[in-house]
Amino acid sequence: MLSTAPEAHTPVRDLFRRGLVIPAHPLALTEDRRLDERRQRALTRYYVEAGAGGLAVGVHTTQFAIHGTGLLPPVLELAAVTAREAGRAAEREVVLVAGATGPTAQAVAEAELARSLGYHMVLLSPYRELDEDGLIERARAVGDVLPVIGFYLQPAVGGRPLSRDFWTRLAGIESVVGVKVAPFDRYRTLDVLHGVVRAGRAGEVALYTGNDDHILADLITPHRVVVDGREVEVEFVGGLLGQWAVWVRRAVELLEEAALARSGDDAAVRRLLRLDGHLTDANAAIFDSANGFRGCIPGIHEVLRRQGLLAGRWCLDPAEELSPGQLAEIDRIWAAYPWLRDDDFVAEGVERWLS
């Protein structure tokens, strides 16, 4: 059952720490690759009405290419204004997360822009040109502007390996309020968990899965981390995911069921374990894992297009399209797993969201 309790007066950090569905917000474009404001608003309205507790804008799914261009400010502003309107209608707060990228000066400037637009937090993408010391100083500088969510991004889409010590140091920064763990790698996922525990901030730094290949297993597992002879239990409280840019109503239900599973509901554990492989298989098609994730963003767009939320799959780069065979894979998982989709919910609301 979806919770409808008003949350307008709950502090944003408490909401974030409690655990939310946070879709990574796509970029709606017209056929000539200009911002489609009508459909961009519709996506934001859909996410909020579906029960998402937050939105992440200016992140990989929004297309990193908007950073350093004149497109970033209007995209951030449109999402913030629309989310606040939809949140007021739903009588609850929507946590707004802005993506920041690039060298320190750029990341700080993007955080300042986000703060001016009413964003609550920054998801700080890694930057390949800085070593780990430089990344720590960059996080401190951005944290002077807005609270920071660290981001372990998989190498296939621009990330890099980071040491366990790095995550200990990052989690030790007071302004760091969470980590999106998305290396698509169990060893590196454990590095983050151990780092947060070693920093002594397991109760303050919220862990969000970004492992789109392991969503439900991440969410139902109470991890017992042993550091310096101490055993500390940590858990993923929510998801900040490109996969949750689609089928969001169902994602909210799955997160609620995951909380039951972590609290000891064995039937919920069994139900979610059965669904885990289905969701991973669906993600493989949508994210184009067979081709190094090259068709990831067009795959997300294709699902939203089928539901009537987007008019097409257009990306800023005209060459960014579905990979050969990817459309047939999406057809396959679409037919195989109807219980993962929220087509009825979207069909009931799409004309209102587009109005």
Burial class (CB in 10 A: 0-12, 13-18, 19+), 151: buried
pLDDT at 264: 92
Q: Render pLDDT for 121-135 as a digit per residue (tens, 0 to 9).
A: 999 999 999 999 999
Cβ atoms 350, 307 nearer than 8 A = yes
pLDDT reading at 111 higher than 60 = yes
- Strand 223-227 with 230-234, pairing: antiparallel
Q: Mean of the per-residue pLDDT values for the chain?
A: 95
Residue 7 in domain: no
Q: Render pLDDT for 309-340 as a digit per residue (tens, 0 to 9).
A: 999 999 999 999 999 999 999 999 999 999 99
pLDDT at 7: 47
Structural domains of the chain, count: 1
Question: pLDDT over 90 for what percent of the chain?
Answer: 92
Residue 316 in domain: no
Residue 274 in domain: no
pLDDT reading at 201 higher than 80 = yes
Q: Which residues contact 160 (CB under 8 A, 6 or more apart)?
A: 126, 128, 153
Residue 173 in domain: yes
Q: In the structure, what pLDDT confidence band is assigned to residue 4 with cuts at 50, 70 and 90? A: very low
Q: In the structure, what pLDDT confidence band is assigned to residue 156 with cuts at 50, 70 and 90? A: confident
Q: What is the CATH classification number for the domain harbouring 100?
A: 3.20.20.70
CA gap 182, 287 in Å, rounded: 14
Local structure of 238: helix, strand or coil: strand
Query: In sequence order, what are the beta bridge partners of 238?
Result: 208
Q: In the structure, what pLDDT confidence band is assigned to residue 155 with cuts at 50, 70 and 90? A: confident
Measured from the Cβ of residue 228, the count of other Cβ atoms closer than 10 Å reads 6
pLDDT at 22: 98
Residue 293 in domain: no
Q: In the structure, what pLDDT confidence band is assigned to residue 218 with cuts at 50, 70 and 90? A: very high
Residue 342 in domain: no
Q: Render pLDDT for 250-308 as a digit per residue (tens, 0 to 9).
A: 999 999 999 999 999 999 999 999 999 999 999 999 999 999 999 999 999 999 999 99
Cβ atoms 242, 212 nearer than 8 A = yes
pLDDT reading at 10 higher than 70 = no
Structural domain boundaries, residue 35? 12-263
pTM: predicted TM-score of the whole model, two decimal places: 0.95
